[in-house]
Amino acid sequence: MQTAVIAWGDVASVLGGLAVLLLLLAAYFIPVLIAYGRGHDQLTLIVVLDVCFGWTVLGWLVALLWSLTAIEPGPAAAPFRRRPPTK
């Protein structure tokens, strides 16, 4: 019966590969993270664009530029006014 010997070089290689994979995955979602951090009003569409077309360089760049664009302010909340009681 043979015993399996795992070399530390193999373990380091696997861990290094996982680290690179995690870094690439984080880089893939940079436009989403920027849009989320800025509270972008088009966050959902940026996520869809990045997930569906981020694998193309052009789709990723468009998502990145869109996440850096100006944020449109939402409609101002109308002041609360209480209706007078009806008779």
pLDDT in tens, 10-68: 888 888 999 999 999 999 999 999 999 999 999 999 999 999 999 999 999 999 999 99
**What is the per-residue pLDDT for 23?**
95
Contact of 54 with 28, CB cutoff 8 Å = yes
Contact of 40 with 73, CB cutoff 8 Å = no
pTM score of the predicted model: 0.67
